[in-house]
Amino acid sequence: MSLRLGDAAPNFKAVTTEGEIDFYEYLGNSWGILFSHPADYTPVCTTELGKTALLKSEFDKRNVKVLAVSVDPIEKHHGWKKDINETQNCSVEFPIIADEDKTVANLYGMIHPNASETFTVRSLFVIGPDKKVKLTLTYPASTGRNFVEVLRVIDSLQLTANHSVATPADWKHGERVIVVPAISTEDAIKKFPKGVEVVKPYLRYTPQPNLD
């Protein structure tokens, strides 16, 4: 199964390091990140989970709940979690799903047979409060993810979901944004009192609208 942007994120029940969960109930009205790991006790994954734990306050600030998933059993997860906390100087408090029967992996298309028949690739899904898939990222097992980029994308997704703007290349929170083409320049000037810079009729900038 290949999930596409805008598809409903499949719900599931799972055993995790924080107890049994129902995915939709766990998310509630929050945004969610579901990301997979090829196996426990692997070096790149150890750094990724550590980085995610260290960014907890940033995810909390954005109303984002995080879940990791690996096809290894729960006993291994608990032991690995101790290693992560020790080596990455962090405290992993988000659930790590024990997906031994690959239910979650198959629901989300995390097994890529040409890469590995048995292990998940490094997939990441951002899911909105409406339980729709907003972003998908897939990395090879050898390349660690950039979680600062994940935060940047969430900032963009949350901004553009609530305002008639898009974000340009390399945009960061606080920088100017693009007025979407569906809004005329006349209407944009009324809608964005901070000002509209018209570079081309189709390329118009305005300061980020949700900042004071």
Residue 67 shares a structural domain with residue 168: no
CB 44 within 8 A of CB 120: no
pLDDT digits (tens, 9 = 90+) for 173-188: 999 999 999 999 999 9
Kindly compute the dihedral angle of the four CA atoms of residues 136, 9, 34, 124, in this order, to the nearest 10 degrees.
-10
Tell me, what amino acid is at 196?
V
Q: Specify the pairing of strand 96-98 against strand 64-70.
A: parallel
Query: Is 32 within the bounds of a domain?
Result: yes
What are the backbone angles phi and psi of residue 67, rounded to the nearest 5°? -135, 135
> How many whole angstroms separate alpha carbon 95 and alpha carbon 106?
19
Residue 89 shares a structural domain with residue 50: yes
Amino acid 120: pLDDT: 57
Strands of the sheet containing 197-200, edge to edge, are 165-166, 177-179, 203-206, 197-200
Residue 40 shares a structural domain with residue 96: yes
Residue 137 shares a structural domain with residue 89: yes
CATH number at 172 reads: 3.30.1020.10
Residue 72 shares a structural domain with residue 35: yes
CB 152 within 8 A of CB 183: no
Query: Is 151 within the bounds of a domain?
Result: no
Q: With a cut of 50, list the residues of the chain below it in pLDDT.
A: none
Token readout for 187 is 């209407």
Query: Is 212 within the bounds of a domain?
Result: no
Amino acid 212: pLDDT: 76
CATH number at 65 reads: 3.40.30.10
Amino acid 165: pLDDT: 96
Query: Is 4 within the bounds of a domain?
Result: no
> How many whole angstroms separate alpha carbon 91 and alpha carbon 81?
9
CB 104 within 8 A of CB 69: yes
- Whether 45 is catalytic: yes
**Residue that terminates a domain, selected from 114, 145, 176:** 145
Give the active site residue among 45, 71, 124, 165.
45
pLDDT digits (tens, 9 = 90+) for 102-121: 899 889 988 765 555 555 56
> How many whole angstroms separate alpha carbon 30 and alpha carbon 39?
27
Residue 90 shares a structural domain with residue 133: yes
> How many whole angstroms separate alpha carbon 80 and alpha carbon 130?
33
Q: Which residues contact 24 (CB under 8 A, 6 or more apart)?
A: 11, 131
Token readout for 130 is 């409406």
Hey, CA dihedral for 136, 137, 138, 141, is it positive or negative? negative
Query: Is 156 within the bounds of a domain?
Result: no
Amino acid 71: pLDDT: 87
Could you list the residue range(s) of the whole structural domain that residue 104 is in?
Answer: 13-145
The count of domains in the chain is 2
